[in-house]
Amino acid sequence: MIWWQVRESQVWLWFTVFVLGGGSFACTPEQQAPDLEPVIPWREAPVDWPEIEHPEDNTLNVARWELGKRMFFDPSFSIDGTVSCGSCHLPAHAFGSNTPTSPGASGAEGTRNVPSLANVGYLPYFLREGGVPSLEMQVLVPIQEANEFHHNVVLLAEALAQDESYVAECIEAYGEGPSAFTITRALGAFQRGLIGGNSPYDRWVQGNEDALTDAALSGMELFGEIGCDECHSGYLFTDHRILNNGLYAEYGDTGLERLTGNSQDIGKFKVPSLRNVGVTAPYMFDGSLATLDDVINHYMVGGAGHPNQAEEIVPISLSNDDVEDLRSFLLSLTDSTFITWSIALMP
């Protein structure tokens, strides 16, 4: 073999290894591979929903989301290190609960049913009677509530400051170490990413005619006919009002009246979203109704007749088939993809 044949074989060998190994020759900008879209860890709003508004000092980014997620599942946020946000807001239940109430630190007995956090970033106010105006402020309530974490946010921040990894993550996310500011902002940022809008009902709205069963379609029509949508309206199935739904003739927990001192506010609580209602039993502010059938029966009866009972609550006549159809529609509001994604967040 003469020298140029050897040289030619070496060139082809080099060229083959270079190309298969991912190398490339110089090329024009048009020939460069396009940049991939960044992968975000939170859930984004469906295209037909409005975008969630973020506070100017707490716009969402990956560092803030990841810090908030760590804090959400960290039991050291309670005074005795036994419960976390995720201990009460269970991912498998749309970040709600499966018991009437949930115990706090040192086994303290809970006082209210834990609400779902799905789509919580859209809510105009927080807690069952709507007494807190922002997610960031709401974070302080469970931390310092005696029946929940029974802690102090300043002392909590001081404890987190002893953890070098927490210090580094807080600085990356907010430019400062653990503090009341970073704790409340990170947890607020995490919760705004908990968006669930891919239920069978949503797929039907988007044009998939097979997404709902005949029973669910009948139940959806009935839902409007009997006036459920007077309170449970819009894409979240709530109008966000604070009402007395006639649950009791007398209230031990007086709801909004605890804030206002006005007797006309006794028994008034926020109208909850019906999204993911199939996995958030038991129901009502105190978890006193165990099943959806119990809830439907409550409204069929027309409430307990409290003086502050909302005028929308009146007796309703439903057949057994009607009840089954209405239940089928309510169950179609559960986003199973959100539940699966939520469970995967757990450490």
- Do residues 134 and 225 both lie within one domain? no
Look at residue 26 and tell me if it is in a domain: no
Give 20's pLDDT tier (boundaries 50, 70, 90).
Answer: very low
Q: What residues have CB less than 8 Å from 229, skipping those under 6 apart?
A: 223
* Dist CA 55 CA 60 (whole Å): 9
Assigned token pair, 137: 């402020």
- Do residues 274 and 302 both lie within one domain? yes
Look at residue 134 and tell me if it is in a domain: yes
Look at residue 243 and tell me if it is in a domain: yes
Q: Cβ-count burial of 58 within 10 angstroms (0-12 exposed, 13-18 middle, 19+ buried)? A: buried
- Do residues 134 and 149 both lie within one domain? yes
Q: Cβ-count burial of 78 within 10 angstroms (0-12 exposed, 13-18 middle, 19+ buried)? A: buried
- Do residues 299 and 243 both lie within one domain? yes
| Domain boundaries, position 206 | 200-335
Is-contact 188 68, C-beta < 8 A? yes
Which of 159, 177, 195 is where one domain is finished? 195
Which of 195, 223, 249 is where one domain is finished? 195
* Buried/exposed code over 18-44 (b: 16+ C-beta within 10 A; e: otherwise): eeeeeeeeeeeeeeeeeeeeeeeebbe
In 3D space, the residue among 213, 195, 173 whose CA is nearest the CA of residue 58 turns out to be 173
Look at residue 308 and tell me if it is in a domain: yes
State how many domains the chain has.
2
Look at residue 19 and tell me if it is in a domain: no
Kindly tell me if the per-residue pLDDT of 262 is higher than 80: yes
Which of 163, 195, 227 is where one domain is finished? 195
Q: Express each pLDDT in 139-167 by its tens digit.
A: 999 999 999 999 999 999 999 999 999 99
Backbone dihedral angles phi then psi of residue 18, each to the nearest 5 degrees: -60, -45
- Do residues 188 and 216 both lie within one domain? no
Kindly tell me if the per-residue pLDDT of 103 is higher than 60: yes
- Do residues 281 and 308 both lie within one domain? yes
Least confident of 23-27, 72-76, 267-271, 298-302: 23-27
Backbone dihedral angles phi then psi of residue 13, each to the nearest 5 degrees: -65, -45
Q: Express as a percent the part of the chain with pLDDT over 70.
A: 89
* Dist CA 83 CA 103 (whole Å): 8
Q: Express each pLDDT in 42-98 by its tens digit.
A: 999 999 999 999 999 999 999 999 999 999 999 999 999 999 999 999 999 999 999
- Do residues 286 and 206 both lie within one domain? yes
